[in-house]
Structure 1
């Protein structure tokens, strides 16, 4: 009898976790659609009515995700990162830049999926080293204009790969690069995380050409332009 009770409890617990995760993705999708437009965030409106954001993060605190369940895990932590950035801005609002707030990335903690984590923990401990996917840099949005744009929808496990591809292509063919003849100037992101863009013996130009419509010469000279840390505000 005890065996069957344990199985029953396990099944119920698993179902509840799945429901919580599905609810989180659904509510996150609604939130981003309502508050993000053309990559800019409606911080004024969220600051006046933060209830939906706070409820989302309260739900995220109770969620359980496993690294082995890669799509759910990655989608959860990408959304959790972007929502936490917005929460960090709102908690310090009005502000002109995330950098105006001491410890924004490495000291302020958020209670998510049973962990107390900083934004840097999510990016540099829970995502980058575990999956070694440079496309994360195009979906983790730090609240600044220099970041690749935040999309007005949640990242979902069922569409995650397509979303990662789309955002990477959008950045590489957009403001992430400045190309003039044989000279290429890239966002500082490519300098800060050069190891992510040169894995397995590839060059940065190789990564760029994988996603760029108009290919760049292998001999192109690569430099980096300054990062715009101004707030990505509507």
Structure 2
């Protein structure tokens, strides 16, 4: 009986500590982004001068235990983790003009997160895209460049994630992510939709079908679709 009680006490303590770490990660990420992100631009220079808050976040992120079965917690964690890892990758090499200035920025540099050693590509392609059929990830994962959808100045949270995914997708597809010329029956979109076409054309739909789910002004299916060049300049303040 005593052993059973001790076992359950241990389980409770472990669960409690895990919950505290997850909550701390989300809360501190929210505070960090509110301080250092304005209108989608990141204060890399200020973070470089004092990396304590960022390092603390990365250290907490390393201790997190997360399961795919907790879908909203899992997705929120890895979206935030990706965006923070991008910021750390830039800050570690700052000043730079583009994340592409750093060799292996996306596929070689590793981060210790949730007891895993992962690259940015691992997070995006293996831990998120490969696990969930949701093209909206492309509007919340911010790669440190102006061509990305803007980084928001708050954390993605399990209780608000669905709303945040919808909101950021709508903002992008009614904003700079797309250029519509109604006179010439033409629409130009970010190269993101070219690189990940399979994500936007699932279930037999077209890219324009996907766009129209979120557009205030619907685009005709007869419009010609083109892609404009991606701007890899850094998204600094």
Shared fold (TM-score, shorter chain, > 0.5): yes
Q: CA deviation at 1:115?
A: 0.1
User: Aligned to 2:106, what secondary structure does the other structure show?
Assistant: coil
Hey, what's the Cα distance between the residues in 1 that align with 2:3 and 2:187? 66
Q: In angstroms, what is the RMSD of aligned CA positions? A: 0.5
1:225 maps to which residue?
228
Q: CA deviation at 1:117?
A: 0.1
Hey, what's the Cα distance between the residues in 2 that align with 1:2 and 1:124? 43
1:134 maps to which residue?
135
1:106-164 Cα offsets, whole Å, 9 max, x none, are 00000000000000000000000101100000000000000000000000000000000
Matched, 1:184 2:187: yes
Hey, what's the Cα distance between the residues in 2 that align with 1:96 and 1:29? 26
1:88 maps to which residue?
89
User: Aligned to 2:112, what secondary structure does the other structure show?
Assistant: strand
Matched, 1:199 2:202: yes
1:24 maps to which residue?
25
User: Aligned to 1:211, what secondary structure does the other structure show?
Assistant: coil
1:112 maps to which residue?
113
Hey, what's the Cα distance between the residues in 1 that align with 2:226 and 2:139? 19
Give the aligned length.
234
Hey, what's the Cα distance between the residues in 2 that align with 1:219 and 1:38? 34
Q: CA deviation at 1:4?
A: 2.1
TM-score calculated relative to the size of structure 2: 0.98
Q: CA deviation at 1:60?
A: 0.4
2:167 maps to which residue?
166
User: Aligned to 1:178, what secondary structure does the other structure show?
Assistant: strand
Hey, what's the Cα distance between the residues in 1 that align with 2:38 and 2:147? 16
Matched, 1:213 2:213: no
Matched, 1:122 2:103: no
Please list every run of 5 or more consecutive structure 2 residues that lacks an aligned counterpart in the other structure.
none
Q: CA deviation at 1:7?
A: 1.6
Runs of 4+ more than 6 Å apart: none
User: Aligned to 1:165, what secondary structure does the other structure show?
Assistant: helix
1:40-94 Cα offsets, whole Å, 9 max, x none, are 0001100101110011100100011100000100000000000000000000010
TM-score calculated relative to the size of structure 1: 0.99
Q: CA deviation at 1:6?
A: 1.3
